[in-house]
Amino acid sequence: MKSESVAVVEAARAGDPAAQDELVATYLPLVYNIVGRALNGSTDVDDVVQESMLRVINGLDELRDSTRFRSWLVAITTNQIRSHWRDRPEAPVSGLQEVVEVPDPRADFVDLTIVRLGLQGQRKEVAEATRWLDEGEQTVLSLWWLEAAGELTRAEVAAALELSPQHTAVRVQRTKEQLDTARGVVRALAAAPRCRELAELTAPWDGIPSALWRKRIARHARNCAACGGAWSALVPAEGLLVGLGLVPVTGALLSWWGGGALLNAEPVAAGHSISTGGGHRATGGGGHRATPG
């Protein structure tokens, strides 16, 4: 971390409210992108982001080395994602939540990524393909995506996954392979007219992306003369993500901390609320509002 950033962390540890505000304003977008991509399709993204930031601010006394703040924050965020899945045994292993939990499946984090970052072509296909990964793959992807975009280092990814650099490389490679498989699936399904055999295969499919249907559709497409070109001329995903940047924070999170101006807050939609999960200021700091006042 830069010296000025370390100074902010040290001041926040000492209970300086302004420094704590600055940390939240600086790192909320990163946390939002990690959680949003890992929990894509879940209505609990805001809650997990919020709880992650609370644990960071309230746990600053536990940070031994201020120069490692970002790595520590990413690890806490990843642990909150694990806790989310662990505490929700009803969540399907296919990755996405049940459709009843997603009021508008068209408004998931993938669509936010496409719209807010203006993705087109293969970049758009990569974003759409992430819907087809399972929970474990989504978690790895959320970190690797930000590494490829230049927002995280490989060391930070490894620390968050609690793996050695070598094992992290293996996990990332496996996830990239599944992502590339999903990219072909997205292309095969988008073909017009759709292959007759593929149409018959997907007739009983409910339209919700899942790892199971990814395997079924990919198995067909790889052995089908009509669908086999789905993987032709694929640009490596990391090349598409370089310099892509973060999806801007949206919704109630913009004003949650009570310092919306620091986050370039946009108006919160009427009727949109977010639970606070209790008090959320580090000991020694001034009280912050969970809603704008």
**What type of residue is 136?**
G
- Is 92 a domain residue? yes
Q: Domain for residue 23, yes or no? A: yes
pTM of this prediction?
0.81
Q: What tens digit of pLDDT does each residue of 134-156 get?
A: 989 999 999 999 999 999 999 99
Q: Mean pLDDT in the chain?
A: 83
In a domain, 103, yes or no: yes
Mean pLDDT in residue range 262-273: 36
Residue 25, domain member (yes or no)? yes
What is the DSSP track for 32-82? HHHHHHHTTT-TTHHHHHHHHHHHHHHTGGG-S-GGGHHHHHHHHHHHHHH
Compute the residue count for the chain. Answer: 293
22 by DSSP, 3-state: which? helix
pLDDT tens digits for range 21-58:
999 999 999 999 999 999 986 788 999 999 999 999 99
Q: Which of 244, 142, 233, 226 is nearest to 180 (CA)?
A: 233
The CATH number of the domain where 61 resides is what? 1.10.1740.10
State how many domains the chain has. Answer: 1
In-domain check, residue 191: no
**What is the domain extent for residue 59?**
3-119+134-177+248-263
